[in-house]
Amino acid sequence: MWEIKFIPETEKELSGLDGSLKRQVLYGIVKVSQNPLLIQDFLKLSIWGRII
């Protein structure tokens, strides 16, 4: 798992989200930190038009 660090702007934006949306965003961040995509995989997904 990768270490998650937020810049001050991110913390400010997260605090402005409502509870359920904030929970979804944080869940997604944790999920990606546990199994991040390599940049090569990201480029392949974006080229083929898949949803990430």
Mean pLDDT (the chain) is 75
**pTM of the predicted protein model:** 0.60
**What is the mean pLDDT of the segment spanning 36-40?**
65
Query: How far does CA 31 lie from the centroid of its chain?
Result: 8
**What is the mean pLDDT of the segment spanning 11-33?**
86
Q: Which residue has the higher pLDDT, 39 or 11?
A: 11
Alpha carbons 49 and 52: distance in angstroms, whole number: 9
